[in-house]
A and B are shown apart, each in its own frame.
Chain A
Amino acid sequence: MEFTLAAVFFAVLTVAVYLLTNFMYLRYRKTLLNPVLASTAILSSILVLGNIPYDTYMEGGSWIGTFLGPAVVALAIPLYKQKDLLFANLLPIISGIATGVAVGMASGILFTQLFRFSEELILTVLPKSLTTPVAMQVASNLGGIPSLAAVFVMVAGFTGYIIGPVFLKWLHIDSAIGRGIALGTSAHGMGTARAFEYGQQETSMSSVAMTLSAVLGALLGPVAAWLLLL
């Protein structure tokens, strides 16, 4: 880690762009203003227009990235606060999440193999239903591309966020537990943001599902990758 002026500049720029987009999002509440999406678009444009290599940007960007690991650990607190709900419905929660994670990974592998994508890309798509920091870690451990994995996580999140409620209605998934588990397992934080619109119970279920599917996904990822390579 080098302490250069450029590094400081890019770290400060990232935080500034994030705070700005976050402010705009909170003010106008438009899905497309999602802070991650908007910040990524702005910062990528700056790099492309300024002809700045990603590695130069990452001299400062990587400082911000170091908080990801501890942030994953911090997810234990919201889960702990939901422990009564979790233990009262342990079987439906665990069975739903485990099935969802397995189906998501298996279908991801199947579809990408069908179109003959490279192994590297298959392993990058694999963890798309997990929350971004965990998905990036899983992708990089398996030999995928972390930053691309983060993009697919966003695609999954937006899919769940935008079409989730219509789809759930169509499937007759109408209980708080079904809706919450479905949104949190398939669309992580974005799904949980959508679950918030149904109510408190759906939100809690979805946040439990988001956290537990990340843990299960981290466990299942290497197994799925191993099966893929057989």
Chain B
Amino acid sequence: MKVIYILLQLIAITGFYLLGEALQDFFNIPLPGSIIGFLLLFVALLLKIYPLEWIDSGAHFLLAFLSLFFIPATVGIVEYGELFSGKGILLIPIVMASTFLAMAASGWVSQFAAKASAERKERS
């Protein structure tokens, strides 16, 4: 029985995805169709148009295997071997440095904003 539930829910999730793709295509939205589908599903859940129980197991199944789904793409690295034997190797420290900056910026801003709003609540 569980298998049928998951299968039906996978179809529902794919439906949201295809709807996102169709909207993207039709209105030329500069966002990936999958992100539009994600937003549609999130809003549908918030507004209680679509009940969580009708999608929960299917989503759990997909997310459990999420890393499997992008392995075929990462294997594509075989076509770019020579890039990393030259100047391209510099891209690795660049990505690391940029990751630190993003971490520092997001951590500081969110921590500072959280403290500021907590103090505001205390005063009022």
Q: How many residues of A contact B (CB 8 A)?
A: 100
Nearest CB in chain A: distance from B36 CB, A: 9
Within 8 A of B (CB), among A1-59: 14-15, 17-18, 35-36, 39-40, 43-44, 47-48, 54, 57-58
Per-position 1/0 for B59-98, Cβ under 8 A of A: 1101101111111111111111001000110111011111
Q: How far is the CA of A55 from the CA of B35 in the complex (A)?
A: 27
Chain A residues within 8 Å of B97, by CB? 107, 111
Residue of B nearest to A213 (CB): B106
Question: For the complex, is A104 an interface residue (Cβ under 8 Å from B)?
Answer: yes
Question: For the complex, is A214 an interface residue (Cβ under 8 Å from B)?
Answer: yes
Nearest CB in chain A: distance from B9 CB, A: 9
Nearest CB in chain A: distance from B115 CB, A: 8
B interface SS class: helix
Chain A residues within 8 Å of B34, by CB? 68-70, 72-73, 133-134, 137
Q: How far is the CA of A43 from the CA of B26 in the complex (A)?
A: 38
Within 8 A of B (CB), among A129-182: 129, 132-134, 136-138, 141, 145-148, 150-152, 154-156, 159-160, 163-164, 167-168, 171, 173-175, 177-179, 181-182
Contact B99–A186 (Cβ < 8 Å): yes
Within 8 A of A (CB), among B40-61: 41-42, 45-46, 52, 55-56, 58-60
User: Across chains A and B, which 5 residue pairs bring their CB atoms closest together, nearest first?
Assistant: A96-B110, A100-B106, A147-B76, A182-B107, A61-B72
Residues on B close to A: CB < 8 A? 10, 13-14, 16-17, 20-21, 30-35, 37-39, 41-42, 45-46, 52, 55-56, 58-60, 62-63, 65-80, 83, 87-88, 90-92, 94-111, 113-115, 117
29 pairs of residues in contact across A and B, judged by CB atoms under 8 Å: A43-B75, A44-B77, A61-B75, A65-B69, A67-B69, A70-B10, A70-B17, A72-B34, A73-B16, A73-B34, A75-B63, A76-B41, A76-B42, A77-B45, A89-B114, A92-B111, A92-B114, A99-B109, A101-B106, A103-B102, A111-B97, A121-B91, A141-B30, A147-B74, A150-B70, A155-B96, A164-B103, A179-B107, A186-B106
